[in-house]
Chains A and B, each alone.
Chain A
Amino acid sequence: MAKELFFIIVGSIFVNNFVLSRFLGQCPFLGVSSKTETAVGMGMATTFVLTMTAVAAYFLQNYILAPFGLEPFLQIVSFILVIASLVQLVEMVILKISPTLYNAFGIFLPLVTTNCIVMGVALLIPMNNYNLIKSIALGLGAGIGFTLALALMSGIREDLEFADVPEALRGPAIVFITAGLLSMIFMGFTGLVPLG
C-alpha cells in the first residue's frame, strides 16, 4: 500500500506530470507563472483544492452517485458543482478568519475552481477505482506536480525578463516552447515507476 501510494504521488509529479504531460491546468500555468511568489501561492492553493476535491469526489462517487446509479450522467454536473461551491466557501472562510492567509493563497482560490486540473483529478478517481487514501495521494501528487511545473516555469520566466527574446515570441509563445522543452525533459522519467 505504502509503495502504491508512493508510486501514485511520484508518478503524478514526475512521470505523468499533470501540466507537462497530461495537459491539465494550462491556463493558470501560462497565466500565473510569471513571478515565483505568485506561482508558488497558486500552486499551494491548487494543491489544497485538489486534495479537498479528491476527498469530495470520493465520497460523492461512492456514497451518492454509484449507489443510486446516477454516475453515468450526473457525475460531471455534481462534481463541478460541489467543487465550485466548496472552493467558494473555503475562500470566504479564509477571508474571514485570516486576511494574511487570504493574501498569500486565498486570492488564488477562485482561479483554481474553473481550472480543469481539478475536474481532471475528480474524474480520474472513479476511473481508477481509487480508495480514499489513494484518492488523496492522487490529489496531493497532482498538486505538487502542478506546483513544481509552475515554479520551474516562473524561475525561467523571471530570468527571461532580462533576455532579448525576439519580439514575436514574447508572451505566450516563448512560454509554450519552454513548456515543450520542459515536457521533453520530463519525458526522461518515462517508465520510472509502473504507473497504473
Chain B
Amino acid sequence: MLKTFIGGIHPPYNKELTNQKPIEKAILPKKVIIPMGMHIGAPCEPIVKVGDLVKKGQKIGEAKAFVSVPAHASISGKVVAVEPRPWPGGGLIMSVVIESDGKDELYEGIHPPKTLSHLTPDEIKNLIREAGITGLGGAGFPTQVKLSPPPEKGVDIIIVNAAECEPYITADHRLLLERPDDVVLGLEAIMKATGVKKSFIGIENNKLDAVDSIKKALQDKKDIEVVVLATKYPQGGEKQLIKAVTGREVPSGGLPMDVGVIVNNAGTCAAISNVLKTGLPLIERITTVTGSGIKEPKNLLIKIGTPLIDIIGQCGGFKGKPGKVLMGGPMMGLAQSQLEAPTIKGTSGLLVLEKADVKLYEPSPCIRCARCVDACPINLLPTNLAKFAEKNMWVEAESYHAMDCIECGCCSYVCPAHIPLTQHIRIAKSHIISSRKKK
C-alpha cells in the first residue's frame, strides 16, 4: 500500500506537457518589478530611491519585523519607480521597479559563505533570512522563522515536500531530476540548522524517475529517506503529507511543529543550497509555464520580478484566445487579470487556459450528495459550510470548523451542482478572522 491520506481527488494531471522539458534559463528581462511583500508577514521597506543604480543580488528592501524577509534586486540596472504597482494578488502593492542595464552584474557584496560543515545553526538561519528565502511551495512563509521552532515543540522530523500534486506543474519534478544534489544539500543545511536527525522526502508515484534520481543523490545517507506516495491531490498539502509520511495529525488550529515536524518544499531546499554555494539571495526560481493557451510550454528559470507578459512572450505567446491566466496550478492558483504584474518567489507555475477550455457553470441547489464530504481531505462538511456562508451564519460556520479548511478546492471540483464551495468557505473564513480580530 502506498502511503496517502483520506479523501482527496484524482484530477487529470496534464503533466506530460512539460515534464520532459529541461529547465531553461529565461532571457534577461528589460524591467523587473520587485514587490516588497512577496511573503506572509510584514512587508519590507524599500531602501532605494528612484534613480539609484543597483546590481544583481543587492538588497533593496529591508525587513524590519521578525516574520519578514528582505527583498533583493534580481537584475542590475536603474531604479525607475518606487510606488504601488499591480501584483499577482490583485490590486496594488509597494514595489521597486528596476530597468535593466543589460549587464546582469553581480553585486560586490555577494560571495560564497563558509562550507556547511563550518557553519553554526544560527549562521545558517541568518544566511537564509538575509537571502530572503521564503517557502517556494506556495504560501511564502519566511523559511528561517519556520526553522526556529521553540525547543519545547521537540521537532524531530523534517519532510521535504516534493509531492507536487497540483496538475500541470512540473517545476519540482524537473528540479529533482536535474539538481537532486542541491535538494539534498539544502535539506542537510535545514537538518543542521534545526538539529533534527531524521528526514523524509515525499514524492508522488507519478514521478518515479525523480525518485530514482534523488535516491542516487542520497547514496548511503541513512538519515534521509525517500517516501513514495500515492498520486492524489492534495498529497502535497502539508497536513496530508505529514499524515501520509508520519501518521501524525497536525491539531486543528495548530502548526506542523506541534507534532514535531517541519515541512519544506523541494525548491526551498534548492534555494538554500544556492545560498550556501554562491552566496546569491533568492532572486530566481523555476516556474512551469504551461496550459492549452500557451504556444510552447516550458520549465523556465526566471528572475523574480519578471512581468508575466514577458514570460508568456518567451514561451511563444498565447495560443488562441486566452481565457484564464493562473499563477500556480489549476486547483489553488490565483486567476490573473493584469499581466504587467510580476512573478514572485511563490510562482511555481503560470498556467494559461484557452478561452474555449474555460468552463463556467451556474450553480444549482445542493442535492446533499455528500461528494464534497467524501472528497474533503480535512473531513469537513463543505456543503454545510457553504450554506452557512450564504446565510451569513459565521458563528455556525466557525463551529463546523470552517477555519480548518485548507482551501484545496477538492469539494468544488467534485460538486455536481457546481456550487463554488471553496469560495463560500473562503468568505466565511475571512469573516471569522475579522470578527476574531475585533475581540
Contacts and interface: CB of A to CB of B under 8 A. Distances in A.
> Do A and B have CB atoms closer than 8 angstroms in the complex?
yes
Contacts of A164: 365
B387 interface: yes
Nearest to B393: A161
B38 to A, nearest CB: 40
B438 interface: no
Contacts of A161: 391
Interface string A148-162: 000000000000011
Contacts of B391: 161-162
Nearest to A163: B365
Chain A interface extent, by class: under 10
Interface in B355-391: 365, 387, 390-391
Interface of A: 161-162, 164
Nearest to B390: A162
The 3 closest A-B pairs by CB, nearest first: A162-B387, A162-B391, A161-B391
Interface in B383-414: 387, 390-391
A162 B397 CA distance: 14
Chain B interface extent, by class: under 10
Nearest to A161: B391
A161 to B, nearest CB: 7
A64 B156 CA distance: 80
A84 B390 CA distance: 44
Contacts of B387: 162
Interface in B219-253: none
5 contacts: A161-B391, A162-B387, A162-B390, A162-B391, A164-B365
Interface string B298-335: 00000000000000000000000000000000000000
B420 to A, nearest CB: 16
A161 B387 CA distance: 10
A161 B390 CA distance: 11
A140 to B, nearest CB: 33
B158 to A, nearest CB: 45
A164 B391 CA distance: 12
A164 B387 CA distance: 12
B105 to A, nearest CB: 62
Contacts of A162: 387, 390-391
B421 to A, nearest CB: 14
Contacts of B365: 164
B254 to A, nearest CB: 30
Nearest to A162: B387
Nearest to A164: B365
Nearest to B383: A162
A162 B391 CA distance: 8
A166 to B, nearest CB: 14
A155 to B, nearest CB: 14
A162 B385 CA distance: 12
Contacts of B390: 162
A164 B363 CA distance: 14
A161 B392 CA distance: 12
A111 B390 CA distance: 34
A161 B365 CA distance: 14
Interface string B251-294: 00000000000000000000000000000000000000000000
B402 to A, nearest CB: 16
B12 to A, nearest CB: 33
B257 to A, nearest CB: 38
A138 B387 CA distance: 41
B343 to A, nearest CB: 42
A142 to B, nearest CB: 33
A161 B391 CA distance: 9
B83 to A, nearest CB: 46
